[in-house]
Amino acid sequence: MSEPLLKVTDLHAWYGESHILHGVNLHVNEGETICILGRNGMGKTTTLRTIMGILRKRTGQMRFAGQDLMTMPLHRTAHTGLGFVPEERGIFATLNVEENLMLPPKVAEGGMSVEEIFRLFPNLKERRNSPGTKLSGGEQQMLAMARILRTGARCLLLDEPTEGLAPVIIDAIGEVLTELKSRGMTVVLVEQNFRFASRVADRFYLMDHGQMAMEFPVGDLEARREDLNQALGV
């Protein structure tokens, strides 16, 4: 077995004096999509922020593509090929779609061209001259993902990409993730929408109070649904 593309071992993290992650263990193989489930406040977003290097008060081990993320300065993390799409999306509201897409620097080989992005996200092509303030929530989410794909990232960390979006937009984002998977993209997804996640994920982790309480493949989702509903308060 080859080494996972991303491996996190006994990861602890703090916001100030608050101990949020309590020994997180997870791994992601190249080309795989994993989904982290869990109630709000269980540490899902903190896990992504810690992997990305945004949260610096941490202990444990994190390796990506053979590189030690624990000792790496924040400004170098993106150059490993990790790309983070936060829940708040982080687009430039006063710039139009095309201007937003022209800003991200290429940090690795293989970043998509603007025309490739427009083929992947037809909605953005239609709105290429629209400022961020005029985009719907779904279009903003697509633009946030597209900006990371421009950089050449090979592993996407997606935080609640479908939250609050219309079903037709959720379906479109699912199609994009399926296409990215066919191209070999690796994805770490934080998501509450079972139906959406089951379409795109290979494996699931259930997070509870800063730890991974359960891990299982997508084929076991139905058998575990009752336990998951109880754990997630669905």
pLDDT tens, position by position, 110-122: 789 999 999 999 9
Residue 16 tokens, joined = 């100030």
What would the mean pLDDT of 210-225 be, rounded to a whole number?
A: 93
152: nearest Cα among 210, 90, 81, 204: 81
Say which range, 13-17, 93-97, 105-109, 164-168, has the weakest mean pLDDT. Answer: 105-109
Q: 4-230 has which CATH code?
A: 3.40.50.300
Mean pLDDT along residues 9-29:
97
Average pLDDT over residues 167-176: 94
Which pLDDT score is estimated for 1? 59
Average pLDDT over residues 69-93: 90
Residue 104, C-beta contacts closer than 8 angstroms, at least 6 positions apart:
147, 148, 150, 151
pLDDT (0 to 100) of residue 19: 97
Average pLDDT for 162-168: 92
Who wins on pLDDT, 110 or 219?
Answer: 219
Q: How confident is the model at residue 167 (pLDDT cuts 50, 70, 90)?
A: very high
Q: Is the pLDDT of residue 226 over 90?
A: no
Average pLDDT, the chain: 93
Mean pLDDT of 41-68: 96
- pLDDT tens profile 143-155: 999 999 999 999 9
Distance separating alpha carbons of residues 46 and 38, to the nearest angstrom: 12
Check pLDDT > 80 for residue 73. Answer: yes
Q: What is the pLDDT of residue 234?
A: 65
Token couple for 12: 């602890």
Gap between the Cα atoms of 125 and 114, Å rounded: 9
- Asked whether the predicted pLDDT for residue 12 surpasses 90, the reply is yes
Give the type of residue at 175: E
Q: Is the pLDDT of residue 108 over 80?
A: no
117 vs 228, which has greater pLDDT? 117
Q: How many C-beta atoms lie closer than 10 Å to residue 103's C-beta?
A: 11
What is the mean predicted confidence (pLDDT) over 156-165?
A: 94
The answer to whether residue 107 scores a pLDDT higher than 80 is no
Mean pLDDT of 23-51: 96
